[in-house]
A and B are shown apart, each in its own frame.
Chain A
Amino acid sequence: MSRTSLLALQILVAVVAIVLWHVLTTVPIGGVKLLPPFFFSTPLEVASRIVRWFAEGTIWKHLWITLVEAMLAFVVGSLAGVLIGFWFARKPIINAVFDPYVKMLNALPRVVLAPIFALWFGLGIASKVALGVTLVFFIVFFNVYQGVKEVSPTVLANARMLGMSERQLMRHVYWPSALSWMFSSLHTSVGFAVVGAVVGEYLGSAAGLGYIIQQAEGVFDVAGVFAGMFVLAVFVIIIDMIVTAIENRLLVWRPVAAMDAR
């Protein structure tokens, strides 16, 4: 399928959904509106809300806050994940000792941590970053660990026979392998950084996209909730496109088929 016809079909899906939504919420069928606007709002109302946010400029502050939180969570979580993942993979004894605790922490639903982080770090940016870090860390950690462990034994033997010292093995073999695994999980970890930020805001904050949605919900402003969700969705898609561009640059050496594994 060509690019243009694919794009046309993708747009068609959105158009059909919005038209359906519009018809069901505004045109009475058999005397009743199948979707009451009080619960489902209408496309026009949501659109005008979004336009108003951008026209008045109030939304920028919230977008910026969410972006900063997500980026900080991503950077801190990735850094910790890479370092600790590397350390665990190279020191089997450390891994053996901490393994059950890592699994326990990873199994914990992060939402329950949000109130505790709010207590510890306050209602500002820090508590949202902390929540995002707990999500990003484990994804990066497991991928880096796997990347170091799954270096091909032949490549490793070859590196040794070429005369690499332990330090050179780190730099030329383990490190690139671990990074390639981390990059292949970039979409997931960036996505989770945004999730951490928004959920954190939703559960207690004074700014951000999660805050907007939570505020609108508090006063039964369904249009506001949907408008917030749309802005969030577009925000995530733009970030995902940037990640794809970065990934294509960093992983040129990879065969295309291997990229499907993400």
Chain B
Amino acid sequence: MAAGSSAPAATVATPAISLKEVDVTFRLADGGAYTAVQRASLDVADGEFVAIVGPTGCGKSTLLNVAAGLLAPSNGTATIFGSALTALNRQAGYLFQADALFPWKTAAENVAIGLEIAGTAKSEARERAQKWLARVGIGGFGDRYPHMLSGGQRKRVGLVQVLIRDPKILLMDEPFGPLDAQTRQIMGNLLLDLWSADRKAVLFVTHDLEEAIALSDRVVIMSAGPAARIIGNWTVPLPRPRDIGEVKLERAFHELHREIWEALKDEVMKGYQQTGGG
């Protein structure tokens, strides 16, 4: 059974996600081993929005998959609301970088499926799906199949597909990566808007430092892989509610950006060298 399903109601002190000394080692086809992440410890408090930033191929997504229960750490523990994670994390919703919608289901069916499999009556699930689609501005596209939607519209469907189940934790793996700059900004504001309604714990992976600062309460920096570690932790002092376009113009934003970038850039260069300029 999923870990955490029998967890007591979260208290103030219990972090939503707690990773302790997590190592992830993959066995390679040639018999060798590749350590993606080493001794990574990270807490995400309930209601906190944490962004992980690091160079390409540093194992950010690996850490996210550990928190999702999709990947078991080789060493260390993952704890969700106080109970050890041993299977899939049932309290978490996961928004993937790549297209993860069911291509054979319409937008509304894609959104409703999470409720339907949990036993909600079909008509009610569809009705709620329709409301969620309307909430993210694509109420008129419920009967379209994913391939008929634009990249931004698909991301909206993906977002509400996850949110409709009302998970306590939101895991996001560079969700807006493939989108163009304008759409990213719109999606970022939409995400903040939805998040402010009930403040889920969010772990947001990105390679874009600006996006990370603009969205989150706290920015965590990872070193270049292999054996990537967490090398820094910055609290973002910017007030909420924020507008991503405007927050980037503030002085505090620039100061923080410069400070984090100082720490990050060496790792980015290392990362480039290792991936051949990636």
Contact = CB atoms under 8 A, between A and B. Distances in A.
B59 interface: no
Contacts of B101: 155, 158
B96 A168 contact: no
A252 B64 CA distance: 35
Given A176-B102, A253-B103, A255-B147, A164 B117 contact: yes
B92 interface: yes
A253 B113 contact: no
Interface in B87-136: 88-90, 92-94, 96, 98-106, 113-114, 117-118
Contacts of B98: 152, 154
Interface string B177-216: 0000000000000000000000000000000000000000
Interface residues of A, number: 22
A162 B114 contact: yes
B14 to A, nearest CB: 22
A160 interface: yes
A172 B102 contact: yes
A185 to B, nearest CB: 17
B130 to A, nearest CB: 18
A254 interface: yes
B10 interface: no
Contacts of B92: 161
Interface string A146-182: 0000001011011111111100100011001100100
Contacts of B90: 163
Nearest to B158: A158
A161 to B, nearest CB: 4
B96 A154 contact: yes
A67 to B, nearest CB: 31
A252 B145 contact: yes
Contacts of B145: 252-253
Nearest to A153: B98
B70 A160 contact: yes
Interface of B: 68, 70, 88-90, 92-94, 96, 98-106, 113-114, 117-118, 145-147, 161-162, 165
28 contacts: A154-B96, A155-B100, A155-B102, A157-B70, A157-B94, A157-B100, A158-B94, A158-B96, A158-B101, A159-B102, A160-B70, A160-B88, A161-B68, A161-B89, A161-B93, A161-B94, A162-B114, A162-B117, A162-B165, A163-B117, A163-B118, A164-B117, A165-B117, A172-B113, A173-B102, A176-B104, A180-B104, A255-B147
Given A157-B100, A163-B165, A253-B103, 18 more contacts: A154-B96, A154-B98, A155-B100, A155-B101, A157-B70, A157-B96, A158-B100, A160-B88, A161-B68, A161-B70, A162-B113, A162-B117, A162-B165, A163-B90, A168-B117, A252-B145, A253-B145, A254-B147
Interface of A: 152, 154-155, 157-165, 168, 172-173, 176-177, 180, 252-255
